[in-house]
Amino acid sequence: MDERRIQTQVEARMGCSINGTIQLTMGQRLFRPSSFTPAPLKNPPISSGMTDVLNTLKAILLKPSARDRYAIVPDLFRRIRYLLRVYYNARMTGRKPAEFKYCDVEDIYDVGLKLHRIGLTLQLTPSRLRALWASAPDLDKFLFDEDFDIGEFRIQSQKLKDAVNADPEAEPSEKSTVSEYVYKAGDGLCAYQMAYMIGDLLVAWIIIDPFTEVEKRRSDRALQVLVKYSASPLHRSTLGDPLTDAMTPIYTNQKYLVRFGLPALFDDWVASIGNHTFCKDAVETLPKVAWEHQTPESLVGIMRALISKLRHDGESLATTPVFARIIHEIYSLRARALRARIHNLRQLYPLLLPVPKTLS
DSSP string, 28-96: HHHHS-----PPP--SSPPTTSHHHHHHHHHHHHSSTT-GGGGGGHHHHHHHHHHHHHHHHHHHHHS--
Task: List all residues 6 or more positions away from 104 whose beta carbon is below 8 Å from its beta carbon.
Answer: 38, 39, 40, 41, 42, 45, 46, 49, 50, 51
pLDDT recorded at residue 1:
58
Q: Cβ distance 241 to 274 under 8 Å?
A: yes
Task: List all residues 6 or more positions away from 251 whose beta carbon is below 8 Å from its beta carbon.
Answer: 257, 265, 278, 279, 281, 282
Residue from 96, 39, 51 nearest 76 by CA: 51
* Cα–Cα separations (whole angstroms), residue 126 to 49, 115, 176, 206, 354: 29, 17, 49, 11, 57
Task: List all residues 6 or more positions away from 29 whose beta carbon is below 8 Å from its beta carbon.
Answer: none
Distance CA 265, CA 259 (A): 11
pTM comes to 0.83
DSSP string, 172-219: HHHHHHHHHHHHHHTT--HHHHHHHHHHHHHHHHHHSPPSSHHHHHHH
pLDDT recorded at residue 342:
57
Give the 3-state secondary structure of residue 1. coil
- Mean pLDDT per 10-residue segment, the chain (360 residues): 83 80 71 81 96 97 88 97 96 93 94 95 95 96 95 88 85 85 84 95 95 96 89 82 86 82 80 63 83 77 86 86 88 69 59 52
The count of residues in the chain is: 360
- The CA angle 150-153-311, to the nearest 5 degrees, is 80
Distance CA 290, CA 272 (A): 21
pLDDT recorded at residue 130:
96
Environment class of residue 235 by beta-carbon count within 10 Å: exposed (0-12), middle (13-18) or buried (19+)? buried
Environment class of residue 99 by beta-carbon count within 10 Å: exposed (0-12), middle (13-18) or buried (19+)? middle
pLDDT recorded at residue 214:
96
